[in-house]
Structures are given as structure tokens and as C-alpha cells.
Structure 1
Amino acid sequence: MEFNNSSTSLNDSDYDYGNGSGAVLIKLCEPKTYGELTGICYITICCISLIGNSLLLYGLARFEDLKRVTMLFILCLAVFDLLFTLTLPFWAGWIFGEMACKVFSGTILLGFYSYMMFLTCMTIHRYMAVVHALRTSLLDARRGRLYTHLTCTFVWVASASSSLPEVLYSETETGFMGVSCNLNISKEVELIVNWLQILLFFLIPFLVITFCYARILMTIQSCQMRNREHTVWLILCIVVGFFICWAPYNVTIFLHSLSALWIPSMATFAWEKGLAYAYYVTHIMAYSHCCLNPLIQIFGGVKFRRYLAICLIFCIYFSAYFCCNCCKIPYLRVIVLHDKSNLV
């Protein structure tokens, strides 16, 4: 997910910090400041995502019917968010060797590709359920579940296949910020990868999602389908949040690809420096997408707020019960047990 090839628009003798163009771009920012701010952002993203997605998974598994297509897709989004999140703490500096470099590089792209594909599938499912409700209702439940499982399997296989180049060509390199894990490919291959990523995993899904939601909103307004509004708006919030996170990053990749094609107006140091700062900001925005799904589900959905409240209540009760046992406060222990019995 980083710029990984050499940038010949800069003087390599003046900036000899490694072969990856991601490193060339980032080194134009202050390395110390970059490392500190990135570490803070990654820690914040990890904490919010781990807690939020774990609560979301528990709420889905404990209280929801996972035979419903929408709930199954949201469950898959939460799983891929966790996969994506678990790789973030390891990118500050690489000490785990080349094999781990390949695995983690593939995992982070697996999380991104699958998230985009599941988001598109969720939107298409909502489109069919709202715009073509009669045709969808003729589908029996067993066949609908079969289609859902086939869709999930296809997304897993397609995402894993798309992330294979990252697994095969990722290598450890020693640069200006120590040992790093980068994609070692030629400039021509990098351009192809960047353009395919923008086209297949951002532009086409965005056009499909935009078309589907335009038709969905028109249908809801014309037919006054109030019972479907909440689910549609919830998924729409996820899509809009994802676009806000990933659109700037993909634009930055696009501009980097243009400068790599030796467009004269872009082959300047000032342009590369501006692109470096843009990459620094937009890649953190992009990585923060793993926090969106749980936040939208928990604070935008009434049921998930109720699940969160139940989880917090039980956490408080069990914490108080544990503390009372440790501190040997019998009166408080009786109160806790009494309140817990009333809750049940």
C-alpha cells in the first residue's frame, strides 16, 4: 500500500535513503516528527479499532441472526477490519525478518481489498432488496443463503489472489529510518499495480455504489419505504466514510503515477515534497477506515447501542465483583450479586 519504487525525479546522490519511492517521499518530511506522529496515530487507530470491532463481533455473534445477509456482510467487514488493524503496530520498524514481511504485507492488502469488495456486495444487496424487491422476494431463503456464502467465498479468494504479488515481492530493506518492509518491483510494474488498484478497487466500486444508492434513494422517496430507511442510511454512512478515507489516498497514488511517467510539469522537487506531505496525511486517513464500521454501527444503530450498554454494564458488574473479592468487602459483594440477579 505504499509507493515502493525508485523515484528518479530526485537526485539520488543527495537523498540516498533506500530504493523504495515511498521512502523517498516520506524522507522529505522530518523523519523524527513523521515517526512520532505516525506512532501516535497508529496507536489511536489500533485502540479504537480493536475495541470497537471486538464489541461489534460480540454483538453480532451474541444478539444477531447471522443468517441475514446484511449481518453476515457486516460481520465479514469487522473481521477484515481486525486483520487490517493487527498489522499496523508492526510498521514503525521491521525486526521480524523477510517471511513475516511478506505475510504482513499480504494481510494488509487482503484487508483493504476484501473490505472494498464486501462494501460493494452490501450495496448491491441493498439495491436488489429495495429497487427489485419483488424479484428478490421470489428467492427462497435456502437459495439466498447459498448465494451469500458463494459471494463471501468469492471475495475471500479474489482478495487473497489480488494480494499475492505483495506476498511474492515484498522484501526487507535498510534505509534512512532503519529496516523496512517494501515491495521490490520495477517502475513499470509498479505503475501497472497502482493503476489496477485505483481502477479495480476504488473507481469501479465507487461508480457501482454511487449508481446503486442513487436508485435506492429514488425508490425510497417515491414508494415511502420507511421500514428500509434505517438499514440503507447505515450502509450509506459506511460507504461515505470509506470514500472520505480512501479517495485522497488514491488521488495521491494517481498523482505519483503521473510524476513517474516523466510529465515535465511534475518533475520538480517542490512537487515531490508536496506529494510527500500529501502521502503522509492521506495514508493515515486511509488506515483509519478500520475504525469507521464499529463507530457507525455502535453510535448510528439503536440495537448496537443497546448491545454496547449491556456489555458495559456486565463489565462494570464483573469488575466490581472481582475488586470486592480481592479487597474482601462483603457488603459491596452482596450488593453486586443482588443487582446482577435483578439484571438477569
Structure 2
Amino acid sequence: MDSSLKFNYNCGSNVCEKSEVRFGANFSTVLYSIVISLSLIGNILVLVILALYENLKSLANILILNLAISDLVFTIGLSFWVTDLVRGLVFPDIVYKLLTFVLFIGFYSNIFFFTTMSGVCKYLTDVHLFNKSSLGFLSLSMWMISIAPARFHTYPIGTHNNQYYNIQVKIALQNFLFFTAFTVIAFCFIHMLITIKRTKSNTINDAVISVFSTAAVFFIGWIPYNVVNISRAFAHDLDQLSKANLELAFHVSQHLAFSCCCLKPVVYAIIDKKFRSNLMSLLLKICRRQNPDNEEEVGVQNPSQPP
């Protein structure tokens, strides 16, 4: 398993007390359990709403669907990590490699789908048209592109067996792809704002706002983790206190980053009126199915009058 992502609450010195280590592990268990539950509920609701109420031939909806699947993939990997955190090392090494692979597929697919969605919004402001028959190919391409760097994290780099070297290269690749995508998305957002200002349009589509809002939440959540992670990998000759502070920053930023998988449905519900309306319709439908007796009581209290 990639050591840059291990749940390691040992600071490598006597700076960390056992009680603090235990508290950190317990806090992480509670936090990630809440995150996993919210992510499963929220992203499954997104998939159901898209299937029941939305047009799945729409490019934006297909990308939102893939983002929800991406978060669910990440959540599945995270759920096994929580099991490892609670019960100790209960899985063989091959399972840890698989979990690392799954987590990084979720991470990279988020990056690539967000980049694609931002490009879509940029072109939509220019009134460019898209070929709907290529939606499946586009989704498959994004998943294949995501698998390539994710697989890169589960094997040594080239002929080098030095673990420290491998970690440095993998973290450098992770940060390069992350900040490249961030630059592309920022460019698309600025271009969109310039186009809207040039056309003197005062309204922005809710879907466009949702795309950039969820992208902002994702990148704001992951930027501290990536910055601390690369600092941690390339830092040299630090004293014990600095190492302890860096480890603390790493775990705090990791908690923030891993929590992002449950936030996209919340952003959709806050910003997108159509999504909120569809969510209310779905919840009302579920409540009616769970309480059929209420409808029967209403029928008894208000019997139809004979002619």
C-alpha cells in the first residue's frame, strides 16, 4: 500500500503520546464512518434522480453521473481502510494494493471528469454543439485514462527498488496531474466569465454553477493534502518538532480531502433548483411507499358521496 496514504499515527519519535495516537485513530474512525455513510446515501440518490428524472443523453448529466460513480468507487476503498483502521492489519498485501488502486481510480477519475465538465461549460458558453453518440466513448475514455495513473501507484517505478524514490515519483505525478487539471479548470472558468461579460448576460445556468461549485469544493479540499504530501515526501533534515507538525498537518489535510466524496450531492441540493425539486419528489415518493396506511386513512375519512 502506498505509504503516502497509510493510516500511520506514529510520528516516528517520542513526540506523540499513545493517548494522542489512540484519540487520532478513534476520531478518524468516527469521521470516516460519517463520511462513508453520507457519501453512499448522497451519491446513490444522485444516480437515482438522474435515472428517474433527467435526460441521460445530456452530456452534463452523463458527466455528473460519472462523478457520482467516481465518488462511490473512492468510498468503497475508504470503507475498507476504516475497517483496517479499527481492526488493525487484517488484509494481505495484495488487498492493500487493490485498495490503493481503487482509491486512486476514484481520485483521478474525479480530476479528469471535472476537467472535462469545465471544458464542456466553456464550450457551452460559446454555443458549441456536441455529438451525443460519443457520450459512452467519452466516459469510457475518462475511466481508462484514470486507471493508467492509478495503476502506477501500486507498482515500483522502473527498475528502482528504493521505496523512498518510488514514493517521491508517485507523489510528484499525483501533484502534477492535480495542479495541471486545476489550471485548466481555472482557465475555463475565467474564460466563461469573460464570455458572459462580453455578451452582457447576467444569468448563468444552474448546471454550470453546479459544475464549478463542486469543482471548487473538490480542489479546495484536496489542495492542502497535496501540498503537505509533497512537502512531506521531499522534506529533509527536519527536527523532531517539525516532523511532528508535518505529520499532524498531513492527517488533518487527509481528513479534509477524503471528506470531499460526500459533498457534491450537498452542493447540487443547495445550488441546482431542478435537482432540489427532483430530490423532493423522490423523497415524497419513498415516504408514500413506506406509509401506504396514511392514504387508506385519508380515503376512509373522505368517502366519495353516492350520486
- Please give the TM-score of this superposition, normalised by the length of structure 2: 0.85
> What code does the residue aligned with 1:59 have?
I
TM-aligned CA deviation for residue 230 of structure 1: 2.2
1:51 aligns with 2:34: no
State the percentage of identical aligned residues. Answer: 26
TM-aligned CA deviation for residue 96 of structure 1: 3.2
Q: How does 1:1-344 map to 2 (within 5 A)?
A: 3-4=3-4, 22=8, 24-25=10-11, 29=16, 30-91=20-81, 92=85, 93-130=88-125, 132-133=126-127, 136-137=128-129, 144-168=131-155, 186-200=163-177, 202-226=178-202, 228-259=204-235, 262=236, 264=237, 267-321=238-292, 324=293, 332=294, 334-335=296-297
> What code does the residue aligned with 1:189 have?
N
Runs of 5+ unmatched residues, structure 2: 302-307
Deviations 1:240-284 (A, max 9, x none): 10121100001101211231xx3x4xx211111001110111001
Deviations 1:9-57 (A, max 9, x none): xxxxxxxxxxx79565488652211111001110110111111111110
Q: Is the 8 A contact 1:105 1:167 kept in 2?
A: yes
In the comparison of the two structures, how many residue pairs are matched? 288
**Larger displacement relative to structure 2 (91-100 or 74-83):** 91-100
Partners of 2:208 and 2:255 lie apart in 1 by 28
Partners of 1:26 and 1:60 lie apart in 2 by 48
Q: Is the 8 A contact 2:121 2:208 kept in 1?
A: yes
Partners of 2:111 and 2:260 lie apart in 1 by 11
**Residues 21 and 33 of structure 1: is their aligned pair in 2 closer, same or farther, counting only changes over 3 Å?**
closer
Partners of 1:293 and 1:243 lie apart in 2 by 12
**Residues 333 and 220 of structure 1: is their aligned pair in 2 closer, same or farther, counting only changes over 3 Å?**
closer
Partners of 1:306 and 1:338 lie apart in 2 by 30
Deviations 1:182-214 (A, max 9, x none): xx96111111111111011x1101111111101
- Structure 1: 4+ residue segments shifted above 4 A: 20-29, 336-339
**Residues 26 and 149 of structure 1: is their aligned pair in 2 closer, same or farther, counting only changes over 3 Å?**
farther
- Please give the TM-score of this superposition, normalised by the length of structure 1: 0.77
Q: Is the 8 A contact 2:36 2:75 kept in 1?
A: yes
TM-aligned CA deviation for residue 4 of structure 1: 4.1
Q: Is the 8 A contact 1:65 1:71 kept in 2?
A: yes
CA RMSD of aligned residues (A): 2.5
**Larger displacement relative to structure 2 (290-299 or 223-232):** 223-232
TM-aligned CA deviation for residue 294 of structure 1: 0.9
**Residues 126 and 334 of structure 1: is their aligned pair in 2 closer, same or farther, counting only changes over 3 Å?**
same
Runs of 5+ unmatched residues, structure 1: 6-19, 170-183, 325-331, 340-344
TM-aligned CA deviation for residue 99 of structure 1: 3.1
> What code does the residue aligned with 1:199 have?
F
Partners of 2:78 and 2:298 lie apart in 1 by 39
> What code does the residue aligned with 2:143 have?
W
Partners of 1:26 and 1:317 lie apart in 2 by 56
Paired residue secondary structure (2:263): helix
> What code does the residue aligned with 2:245 have?
G
**Residues 73 and 185 of structure 1: is their aligned pair in 2 closer, same or farther, counting only changes over 3 Å?**
farther
